[in-house]
Amino acid sequence: MTTAPTGKQQQNQWLYNADGEELRVWIDGEILPASQAQLSIFDHGALYGDGVFEGIRAYGGRIFQCASHIERLFHSAECIRLEIPYSRGEIEQLMRDTLKANNLEDAYIRLVVTRGPGGLGLNPFLCEHACTYCITGALRLYPDDFYRKGMPIIVAKRLRIPIECLDPRIKSLNYLNNILAKIEAIDAGVLEAVMLNTDGFVAECTGDNIFVVRDGAIATPPGEAGILEGVTRAFVMSMCKELNIPCQERMLKLDDLRGADEVFLTGTAAEIIAVSQIDGDPVGKGEEGPITCTLREQFHAIIKACAPEG
Ligand code: PMP
């Protein structure tokens, strides 16, 4: 059995590369060793979770679905009336510069734009300037075993925050709703939890979108269910089209999950991963099903074909 890494070890993964060299980050126009980069304690990103971010992947030196991530970042920023002090082109370039500074081709990229330093009042418009930074590093989110066998999840008691309160389509720095559900998952000895919305429909997991397969057809909750509309989710839906696998967005109940032949999750970090159990009950045969397997293998074939950059 492998033991879970400590917080310090997890942090080190982003501070140092496999050779023990310190990774560099991009912050407000400068590339610095990660330990030297500083964010003000008055930054409203830290004080109030006021900011937006993206989690992105590079495969073989190519930034996967780069335009979609940048579009979502700008959309999130617009929704919270945060002006990103860079153009879309500059954002793409700074990610490339960070990857290059770290000699990374296969990497996870965390791009963050905070409201910036201000006073202790909430008024976001009194903040001096937005702060932009980019962290890159190697990543494998879930243990390899889970990709072969599927992973168990639970249904969180915590409901996904309603659209009217804070639209989950905004990828903001305010992740407490998800974190509280994640704590439930960890307490139950698993790594993910599916969250329902306040109307009792399935929304998404704490950091992944969810899909069900029944009788050869796939379904996933729509944006109106209260989800982050994942870039991987959209990519998987387009893959289904190409592969002639029926895939629709529709409202799902917990019974749709429990009665499914297969359930799988998608996310930038997770990629595509089967769910083997929900609340201890097996999904289908309790292992990765054939459609999830096809999609996962196809996804990897596409990623591999991406490299090297053209
Ligand atoms: N839902 C939530 C709440 C997320 O945080 C994420 C990203 N980790 C996803 C879904 C998946 O989105 P994407 O495929 O764009 O990474």
Task: Single out the residue of 244, 199, 253 nearest to residue 226, CA to CA.
Answer: 199
Distance between CA atoms of 18 and 298, rounded to whole angstroms?
28
Distance CA 4, CA 65 (A): 31
CATH no. for residue 219? 3.20.10.10
Classify residue 2: in a domain, yes or no: no
Same domain, 160 and 50: no
Per the residue annotation, which of 8, 171, 182, 285 is the catalytic one? 171
**CA-closest residue to ligand 1 atom 10:** 208
Mean pLDDT of 167-177: 98
**Ligand 1 in contact with 225 (CB < 6 A)?**
no
**How confident is the model at residue 19, as a pLDDT?**
85
171 Cα nearest atom in ligand 1: 5
**Confidence tier at 3 by pLDDT (50, 70, 90):** low
Q: What's the pLDDT score for residue 10? A: 78
User: Is residue 26 located within the same domain as residue 108?
Assistant: yes
Is 170 found in the same domain as 109?
Answer: no
Nearest CA to ligand 1 atom 5: 207
Region 23-45: what's the mean pLDDT?
97
The total number of structural domains that make up the chain:
2
Q: What are phi and psi of 214, to 5 degrees?
A: -145, 130
Ligand 1 pocket test, candidate residues 57, 72, 172, 228, most atoms within 8 A of CB: 228
Co-location of 182 and 272 in the same domain: yes
180 vs 160: CA distance, rounded Å: 10
Go through the chain and tell me how many residues it has. Answer: 310
Last residue of a domain, one of 94, 110, 137: 137
Q: Give, using CA atoms, the residue closest to atom 13 of ligand 1.
A: 230
Residue 55 Cβ < 6 Å to ligand 1 = yes
In a domain, 180, yes or no: yes
pLDDT score of 309 more than 50: no
Range of the domain at 48: 7-137
What is the model's pTM? 0.95
157 counts as catalytic: no
The answer to whether the CB of 178 is under 6 A from ligand 1 is yes
pLDDT average, residue stretch 105-132: 97
Same domain, 131 and 38: yes
pLDDT of residue 308: 56
285 by Cβ neighbours in 10 Å (0-12 / 13-18 / 19+) ranks as: exposed
- Using a pLDDT cut of 90, give the percent of the chain over it: 87
Tens digit of pLDDT for each residue in 9-21?
Answer: 777 888 888 888 8
Report the share of the chain in percent with pLDDT over 70.
97
Does pLDDT of 307 surpass 80? no
Give the pLDDT confidence score for residue 8 in this predicted structure. 77
Q: What is the 3-state secondary structure (H, E, C) of 127-151?
A: CCCCEEEEEEECCCCCCHHHHHHCE
Identify whether residues 84 and 161 lie together within a single domain.
no
Which domain CATH number covers 81? 3.30.470.10
- CB 92 within 8 Å of CB 70: yes
Residues 294 and 159 in one domain: yes
